[in-house]
């Protein structure tokens, strides 16, 4: 794929990030065509996709959540787009009946990962119809949908007929009972903004845009937000950990194993989510993985992607894993760090398989952090086997749970030297009171009171303090937004 920005910047890309409205790609090239935006990219697919986002091959087929029978002239990408549109993380080898199966989480069992071989279609040699891992042609290869695929949602991959039989996802020539709200056309595959809000998810708006003479019908997020890979609106954030240096309390011998994975230090922050390329430690104490963000940030949340777990016991190793934070750290330290660094939060009670993120939102958004740590729970430290495929770290903001300020007090952001700090404040007619989003306010008041008492010459019956009025103008962080690709056109 190619990505154009600002009318002059051209990039070759293989993966996509969050999507914005096509209308934001409004900077013209020399020929007056729209060629990206100032902070967004116009993404084009120059030819049919020849490779796919392979995850692993398994001995048996995974349990499909939904199925769609593809036409005889199907392509592999048709299945990928169908599963992505229906918001599933995985699809698998198309079965002999031309059925495309989608599912959210894969099971345990022997898995294999070797070089991916893709065969072209007999009906169209420019398209791919079958992919498998070399040496494992008969096994069931599964593929991830979230990171390489996207397409214009103005035309659906299936018919949205009213009263569909048993939730059918087929394409029909016509729909006798008409279309579901938000859809039109003989086969009810064209999105219709004039009906049912275009069947857009809650929080999105259906709009029509014309770019380079082409009309697009899209579900777009409100200003200041983007559509992420899980089809949700959020403020765009950079992954602070991407390609930042990782450190470990111990090291596992670096090697490739087609069954158990590729174990290398760089994989914790290399942007690869496939569950095969992993980082691994081999100690029961202090048992930590860390990433150095190289600058100070207030961390809001992390996403951790598990390895492919062949056995249930492997999977349980990351139950209730712990995320910790600190401003400084000696990476040669091999002491127990649990009571020496700050707590962010805990992973899920039961860890999930690779391919889907385990999200931990920090309990305190005010901790200035340079180092982010992952540790097993106290109960699982004895296993002395901790592994992850990828760690993502994101900055805190007032859009997340009101900055941990509670339901009443407004959250305020202030950016100094590239670092966003958060405070909670409420205004009266005369004053602005501010406090940290934590329980330390009483301590702060006490300290200030003691300082005032030391400066006075008589005993005070009461005292108060007034904070300076916070600045009205805040420097807003520049949101860099990317644009997802289309099936055949610009997004």
Residue ending a domain, among 118, 144, 170, is 144
| Residue 140 shares a structural domain with residue 252 | no
Asked if residue 258 and residue 384 are part of one domain, the reply reads yes
Q: Which of 385, 248, 241 is nearest to 300 (CA)?
A: 241
Residue 42 β-bridge partners: 4
Domain match, 140 and 253 both: no
pLDDT for 486 equals 35
The tokens describing 297, both together, are 């940030």
By CB neighbour count within 10 A (0-12 exposed, 13-18 middle, 19+ buried), where does 146 fall?
Answer: buried
* Strand pairing report for 66-69 and 99-103: antiparallel
The owner of tokens 């400084």 is 328
The DSSP letter of residue 176 is: T
Domain-embedded: residue 474 = no
Q: ∠ CA 188-193-198 to the nearest 5 degrees?
A: 60
Neighbours of 213 (CB within 10 A): 7
What backbone torsions phi and psi does residue 130 show, to the nearest 5 degrees?
-150, 135
Do residues 131 and 276 share a domain? Answer: no
The alpha carbon dihedral of 173, 176, 179, 180 has a sign of negative
Residue 319, in any domain of the structure:
yes
Last residue of a domain, one of 355, 373, 401: 401
d(C-alpha 383, C-alpha 300), whole Å: 29
DSSP state of 14: S
pLDDT over 70 percentage in the chain: 86
In a domain, residue 275? The reply is yes
Full-prediction pTM beyond 0.85?
Answer: no
Start-to-end Cα distance in the chain: 12
Per-residue confidence (pLDDT) for residue 154, from 0 to 100: 87
The per-residue pLDDT for 390 is: 97
* Residue whose C-alpha is closest to residue 105's, from 315, 249, 246: 315
Q: Is 101 within the bounds of a domain?
A: yes
Task: Tally the domains of the chain.
Answer: 2
Question: Which residue stretches of the chain have pLDDT < 50?
Answer: 428-435, 438-491
* Whether residue 394 is found in the same domain as residue 251: yes
Residue of 397, 353, 399, 345 lying closest to 372 (CA atoms): 345
Both 274 and 389 in one domain: the answer is: yes
Is 322 contained in some domain? yes
CATH code assigned at 320: 2.60.120.260
Do β-strands 277-281 and 261-263 pair in parallel, antiparallel, or remain unpaired?
parallel
pLDDT for 439 equals 38
In a domain, 169, yes or no: no
Please say whether the beta carbons of 279 and 268 come within 8 A: yes
Phi/psi at 316 (5° precision): -70, -15
Q: How many residues does the chain have?
A: 491
How far is Cα of residue 268 from the mean position of the Cα atoms in its chain?
Answer: 15
List CB contacts of 137: < 8 A, sequence separation 6 or more: none
In this structure, is residue 23 part of a structural domain?
no
State which of 343, 378, 401 marks the end of a domain. Answer: 401
Q: Provide the pLDDT for residue 417.
A: 80
Report how far apart, in Å, the C-alpha atoms of 296 and of each of 304, 381, 416, 441 are.
Answer: 20, 29, 11, 23
**What are the strands, taking DSSP E only, across 189-335?**
190-191, 205-211, 214-220, 226-227, 233-234, 246-248, 255-257, 261-263, 277-281, 289-305, 322-326
Q: What is the pLDDT of residue 166?
A: 66
Domain membership flag for residue 253: yes
The 10s digit of each residue's pLDDT in 268-284 is 999 999 889 999 999 99
* Cα–Cα dist 48/134, whole Å: 22
Which parts of 114-167 are beta strand (E)?
A: 116-120, 128-133, 140-144
Structural domain for 270, as ranges: 246-401
CA atoms within 13 A on the CB side of 488: 5
Nearest to 469 by CA among 436, 408, 405, 425: 425
pLDDT tens figures, 102-112: 999 999 899 99
Pairing status of strand 90-92 against strand 419-427 = unpaired
Backbone angles phi, psi at 296, to 5 degrees: -90, 135
CB 310 within 8 A of CB 109: yes
């Amino acid at each position: 794929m190619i990505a154009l920005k600002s009318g002059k910047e051209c990039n070759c890309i293989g993966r996509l990030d969050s999507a914005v409205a096509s209308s934001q790609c409004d900077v013209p090239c020399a020929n007056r065509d729209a060629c990206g935006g100032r902070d967004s990219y116009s993404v084009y697919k120059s030819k049919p996709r020849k490779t796919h986002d392979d995850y692993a091959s398994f001995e048996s087929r995974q349990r499909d959540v939904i199925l769609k029978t593809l036409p005889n002239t199907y392509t592999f990408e048709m299945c990928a787009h169908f599963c992505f549109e229906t918001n599933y993380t995985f699809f698998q080898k198309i079965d002999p009946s031309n059925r495309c199966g989608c599912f959210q989480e894969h099971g345990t069992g022997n898995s294999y990962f070797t070089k991916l071989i893709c065969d072209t279609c007999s009906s169209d040699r420019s398209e791919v119809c079958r992919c498998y891992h070399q040496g494992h042609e008969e096994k069931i290869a599964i593929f991830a949908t979230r990171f390489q695929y996207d397409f214009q949602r103005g035309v659906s991959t299936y018919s949205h007929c009213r009263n569909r039989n048993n939730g059918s996802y087929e394409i029909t020539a016509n729909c006798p009972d008409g279309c579901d709200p938000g859809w039109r056309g003989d086969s009810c595959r064209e999105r219709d903004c004039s009906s049912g809000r275009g069947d857009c998810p809650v929080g999105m708006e259906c709009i029509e845009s014309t770019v380079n003479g082409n009309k697009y019908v899209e579900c777009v997020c409100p200003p200041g937000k983007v559509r992420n890979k899980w089809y949700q609106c959020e403020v765009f954030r950079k992954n602070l950990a991407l390609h930042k240096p990782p450190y470990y309390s111990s090291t596992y011998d670096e090697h490739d194993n087609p069954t158990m994975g590729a174990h290398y230090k760089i994989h914790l922050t290399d942007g690869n989510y496939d569950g095969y390329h992993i980082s691994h430690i081999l100690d029961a104490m202090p048992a930590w993985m860390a990433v150095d963000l190289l600058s100070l940030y207030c961390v809001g949340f992390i996403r951790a992607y598990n390895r492919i777990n062949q056995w249930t016991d492997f999977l349980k190793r990351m139950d209730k894993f712990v995320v910790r934070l600190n401003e400084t750290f000696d990476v040669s330290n091999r002491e127990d760090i649990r009571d020496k660094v700050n707590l962010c939060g805990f992973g899920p009670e039961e860890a999930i398989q690779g391919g889907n993120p385990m999200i931990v939102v920090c309990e305190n958004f005010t901790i200035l952090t340079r180092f982010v740590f992952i540790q097993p729970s106290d109960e699982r430290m004895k296993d002395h086997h901790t592994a992850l495929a990828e760690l993502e770290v994101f900055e805190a903001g007032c859009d997340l749970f009101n900055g941990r300020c509670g339901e009443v007090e407004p959250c305020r952001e202030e950016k100094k030297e590239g670092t966003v700090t958060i405070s909670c404040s409420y205004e009266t007619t005369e004053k602005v009171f501010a406090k940290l989003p934590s329980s330390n306010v009483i301590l702060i008041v006490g300290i200030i009171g003691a300082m005032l008492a030391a400066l006075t010459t008589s005993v005070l019956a009461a005292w108060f303090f007034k904070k300076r009025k916070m600045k009205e103008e805040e420097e807003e962080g520049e949101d860099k937004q990317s644009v997802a690709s289309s099936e055949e056109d610009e997004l």
